[in-house]
Amino acid sequence: MADIVFQPTFVHQEFVDGPDGDRVRAAEPNGFNARFGAIESDLRQLSTVVGQIDAAVDRRGTGPADHVLTLAPMLQGAAGGTLPWRITPSGAAQFGQDEDAYGLMEVALPDNVRLTSFRVMGQVGVNVVGLAVLLSRVKIPGGTPEVLAGISGATDPFDSSADVDPSLAVTQTATYRYIVQASVINSGTSVTLAAFQIAYTSS
């Protein structure tokens, strides 16, 4: 896009008082007609430039925008599952050694946006076994969760991302609920999940 420029043309020339000074005139290069005509021309040009700026702002606002939603892992237990995660005063989800844990949480997402990635952060010992964190959708009023993105593994600190399945990436909040599920089997060490992040693109 070309630069938007406003270049004024009117330059005020001081009137001079006194017997040898200027006389008020309508015509001539220094008369009021010429001066006000130059000001009027500048105002028209300024109006055009303002319109160009407004159009440029509108065009910039219509393109895709990237967003990141950060969530505290407020994981709740579920019927038939293993022991629930403990929520610390800082809002992290934590579990101790030699135990199994399971939890899930609802995620409120905007409608008709494209999910791009799922990220999980925390502290996980190297001996952890069976850690899995899934971003899924469930058809309303009920059904089997469809996994959009899944993360597993063990590093300390734990910071891992996964791309969302492109075929399931566009949100449909009138048709699906969105959940995060986190489970760990016989951790052998403490596990702390500090935050979840969901990246998405809106048009």
Chain position carrying tokens 């059904």? 143
Q: Is 38 exposed, middle or buried (0-12, 13-18, 19+ CB in 10 A)?
A: middle
Rg for the chain, CA atoms, rounded: 32
Task: Tell me how many degrees the CA angle 78-200-124 measures, rounded to the nearest 5.
Answer: 50
DSSP result, 96-125: -TT--EEEEEEE---TT-EEEEEEEEEEE-
Tens digit of each residue's pLDDT, the chain (203 residues): 456 666 666 666 666 666 666 666 667 666 666 777 777 777 777 777 777 777 777 666 566 789 999 999 998 887 655 677 888 888 888 887 666 788 899 999 999 999 999 999 988 766 666 788 999 999 998 889 999 999 886 666 778 899 999 999 999 999 999 999 998 876 567 788 999 999 999 87
Q: Is 113 exposed, middle or buried (0-12, 13-18, 19+ CB in 10 A)?
A: buried
CATH class, domain 65-202, is mainly beta
Tokens linked to 187: 């951790």
Handedness of CA 105, 109, 114, 118 (dihedral sign): negative
Spell out the domain ranges in the chain.
1-62, 65-202
